[in-house]
Amino acid sequence: MEYYRDEWKLAIIPEKKLNAILISAGIAGLATGIALRQSGHHVTILEQVLDIAEVGAGIQMPPNSTRILARWEVLDKLSEHINFMEANSLRSWKDDTELGRVLLMPGVADHYGAPLGVIHGGDLQRILLAAAVKSGCEIRTNHKVVKVDDNFEARIQLLNGEWMEGDVVIAADGIKSVIRNQIAAAHKHLDRATPTGDAAYRFMIPKENMSNNKEALNLMSTKIGMRWLDAGGHIVAYPVKNAAYNMVPIHPGKT
């Protein structure tokens, strides 16, 4: 790939091959599975849904992430869906005047040796899923994990009552993680997110909904991220998949 350069080579031969059980076939679980397989371990990924579908919104991908994806030999495939952003335009929320511009590509890739871009989360998950299967990860859908061993041994229980055991269990099941909640409760800790003081709302506008709005279509046709700024909040926006415009308004919030 034209934006990528990396001479990192390291043959990883584990002293002991582990049997790893990963909970959830989301982006984190699939990425962890690929890394473990490339390190020589056996991986079983348990996903609670029957059919893994494309979900999510826009995701920003900085050079440290695209470099790892290149080492996993998936960046070329992902590049078909990544928008490599040329700049971020910082703008006034009042009258849309440009206050400044931060140049990104190709300068970022020249400096770090890996590109920066944005992608739809569904595309990233789908390609990681294919790469995980190709690497030898065993994906088991319709396998909902409800409990971990009371002594936190590497054993988990499924919804159907079956127990599974490995050498290590990795909970990659997100902010509402069943396993993290159980571990927190065992330590008399309330598992809840810590408020940041900001609230963010994510949504995507399909390109077809912009067909009668020339200004909106112009936003879709560029590789420029927009940042509309106010003293109390801002909006992050950029096109993804050449099919939708991703927007994230952020403002002060208590939760």
Sequence-ordered list of residues with C-beta below 8 angstroms from that of 79, at least 6 positions apart, any chain: 1
β-pairing verdict for 233-240 and 244-252: antiparallel
Strand ranges in the chain using DSSP code E only, listed in sequence order: 19-23, 42-46, 58-61, 87-92, 98-103, 117-120, 138-140, 145-148, 155-158, 163-165, 168-171, 198-200, 203-206, 224-230, 233-240, 244-252
Sequence-ordered list of residues with C-beta below 8 angstroms from that of 140, at least 6 positions apart, any chain: 44, 45, 46, 47
Q: Write out the catalytic residue numbers.
A: 202
Residue 136 in tokens: 């030898």
| Cβ atoms of residues 229 and 93 within 8 Å | yes
Distance of CA 190 to the CA centre of its chain: 26
Sequence-ordered list of residues with C-beta below 8 angstroms from that of 15, at least 6 positions apart, any chain: none
**Cα–Cα distances in Å, from 115 out to 8, 36, 105, 121, 160?**
16, 24, 7, 17, 44
Q: Is 12 exposed, middle or buried (0-12, 13-18, 19+ CB in 10 A)?
A: exposed
Nearest to residue 124, comparing CAs of 78, 83, 62?
78
β-pairing verdict for 168-171 and 198-200: unpaired
Identify residue 212 by its one-letter amino acid code.
N
